[in-house]
Amino acid sequence: MFYKLVLDTPILEMEDSSWVLTLPTIIGRNPEHGVFLDHHSISRTHCKLTVNAHESLLIKDLGSTNGIYFDDNRVDQHQLFPGEKFQIGALTFHIEYESDTDHGKPAYKPKSFELTETAPMATLKKSDLPEPTRMTMEKVPEKKWWEFWK
């Protein structure tokens, strides 16, 4: 059985929006990894996807700066099911089953790259904003911290 990782967050700068997975694989901002995500909220070596003894897909955080999230909760490890939404850094994904015929499509690899520091995600407080903006924000629903990155 094969799995496909699908990006749900629209990012214009990213070359790919889905990846057929060869497991185990590492996801990160390093182009040498199985899934290369060129986004400032993603650590160089962010997380790992593996299959356990029961053929269930598992995701494990590898000590990343911005973590992995399920239902707004940061987790170290989680069992993934097709269609389930989850976050890696500020990006939202889901998993799909993949047919045998699509397996083996090569992943995008850049010709050159720069591994800068991962930018930690921060929460904006109303008190950090100028007065006119604070007044405007009182009329707008609060955003979750990762929605400021989209």
> For residue 142, which of 58, 150, 134 has the smallest C-alpha distance?
134
pLDDT 10s digits, 119-129: 776 666 666 66
**Contact residues for 66 (Cβ-Cβ < 8 A; gap 6+):** 41, 42, 43, 89, 90, 118, 120, 121
Beta bridge partners of 19: 5
The amino acid occupying position 122 is A
pLDDT in tens, 36-61: 998 889 999 999 999 988 888 999 99
Q: Could you read off the pLDDT of 60-78 as tens digits, one per residue? A: 999 999 999 998 899 999 9
Which residues, other chains included, contact 48 with Cβ-Cβ below 8 Å and sequence gap of 6+?
Answer: 24, 25, 26, 27, 59, 60, 62
